[in-house]
Structure 1
């Protein structure tokens, strides 16, 4: 089950964390993986790990916020069966302490970046008779989080784009879903805590872990397993859905 033999998968932001875990499990299940990544060294490290495990992968230096770059990469790849829109950045701040520059930066990567990849992939998928898209949303698209104004805006947009694409491309055999992780323990999270909570790293990590009712953060591999299912033939009857992978955060926090 969940084989991806013969499939070509594009995973954005796969130089670390969730994206890397998704790229690795897709390759392990037989997909040819293409990594779009702003940081080439990180992408090459992911490729090396995949190849060491017997898989096939290729990296492409790409800023997803630049539409022409994205178009060129997708045209070079040529065939895309699966797109995972994972690339994204975070921001801490309420409405009043989110600057115009902060908002624009989040929009350019998290919203426009996803749009650029959707636009490039959908055309190829239509030509080849179908495909699967998975967008990385967040619990921030579903519940109010303190000091996450711009980030929540971007993830709400991701959830809405998922529904729109799923609806519009039903006639073309293109499925589109999203997943909404709660906090996932990645190098990004460690860096985020170190940057924003200097001197309180251990205390903040424990606090953020316990916001999930299950009592811990998710592992990237757990998100990757859900991504694999949703992009596999076994999920062929699923489109226009969001899947929280949140340790009970949305429904059980009270």
Structure 2
């Protein structure tokens, strides 16, 4: 990666969903710019492998659907690094199902992972950042939050909820110099589609992501995230055309 963000040098960050995809690319980009990164996912082995390649990083495994684990993770990161300057709430999973076939238990799981987990992580870092005199929270939503897409109501509504929480928190925390931003990625070349829960099975050879525009790399989105940390913009869109797609 060639992006340079000297403003990030010496800061500390927590990145959830860091073992693959956008989270992994973001953790790597931040580390390359002198950030000490707390790596979070459920897989200790994958985090340890990544940590060995990123100077100053440390693995803090946690299931982002489990509130006690999230609280423990943030506490461990704070104790290890001494401070938390940046939180990147990236962990999430897709769920494709028409409204008629949306299973409520699965929807609750997706909501716990995509909304409640990030909310709890935010709540835990707010007091830390307030005591430090400020910080940055970046929540990764989805381009689907800006659209009405058949078969994606559960997932897109969870990401729209996360965007709403983010923008409200931005106003609530402005006086504490805590900047909250939301990122809307476009379709990205990761394992997201393969890991998506589907009400109707899709053949494995049909699970590759496709879209009307060229797909983005995880590194491209990581650059948007790092740029958003530096700029402090409220909403960061992977592409300008996405701004015209919002349904609200």
Fold shared, TM-score > 0.5 on shorter chain = yes
Corresponding residue SS for 1:11: strand
What residue in structure 2 maps to residue 148 of structure 1? 152
What is the number of equivalent residue pairs in this alignment?
236
Following the alignment from structure 1 to structure 2, what is the Cα–Cα distance between the partners of residues 249 and 115? Answer: 25
The question of 1:75 aligning with 2:75 is answered yes
Measure how far apart 1:251 and its partner are: 3.9
Residue-by-residue CA offset, 1:100-132 (whole Å, 9 max, x unaligned):
111111111111111111011111000110000
Question: What does 1:171-186 align with in structure 2 at a 5 Å threshold?
Answer: 171-186=175-190
Residue-by-residue CA offset, 1:145-176 (whole Å, 9 max, x unaligned):
12111101110011101111100001100001
Measure how far apart 1:44 and its partner are: 1.9
Structure 1: which 4+ aligned runs deviate by more than 2 Å?
187-197, 208-212, 246-252
What residue in structure 2 maps to residue 42 of structure 1? 46
What residue in structure 2 maps to residue 25 of structure 1? 29
Measure how far apart 1:73 and its partner are: 1.8
Measure how far apart 1:200 and its partner are: 4.0
Corresponding residue SS for 1:89: coil
User: What are the ranges of 5 or more consecutive residues in structure 2 without an aligned counterpart?
Assistant: none
Query: TM-score, length-normalised on structure 2?
Result: 0.88
Following the alignment from structure 2 to structure 1, what is the Cα–Cα distance between the partners of residues 96 and 197? Answer: 11
Q: Quick check: 1:33–1:57 contact (8 Å CA) kept in 2?
A: yes
Following the alignment from structure 1 to structure 2, what is the Cα–Cα distance between the partners of residues 246 and 146? Answer: 22
What residue in structure 1 maps to residue 203 of structure 2? 198
Residue-by-residue CA offset, 1:58-112 (whole Å, 9 max, x unaligned):
1111012222222222122221100000000110102111011111111111111
Query: TM-score, length-normalised on structure 1?
Result: 0.86
User: What are the ranges of 5 or more consecutive residues in structure 1 without an aligned counterpart?
Assistant: none
What residue in structure 2 maps to residue 244 of structure 1? 237
Q: Quick check: 1:84–1:136 contact (8 Å CA) kept in 2?
A: yes
Following the alignment from structure 1 to structure 2, what is the Cα–Cα distance between the partners of residues 111 and 95? Answer: 19
Measure how far apart 1:209 and its partner are: 2.8
The question of 1:211 aligning with 2:209 is answered no
Following the alignment from structure 1 to structure 2, what is the Cα–Cα distance between the partners of residues 196 and 181? Answer: 25
Following the alignment from structure 2 to structure 1, what is the Cα–Cα distance between the partners of residues 195 and 75? Answer: 34
Following the alignment from structure 2 to structure 1, what is the Cα–Cα distance between the partners of residues 204 and 42? Answer: 29
Corresponding residue SS for 1:73: helix
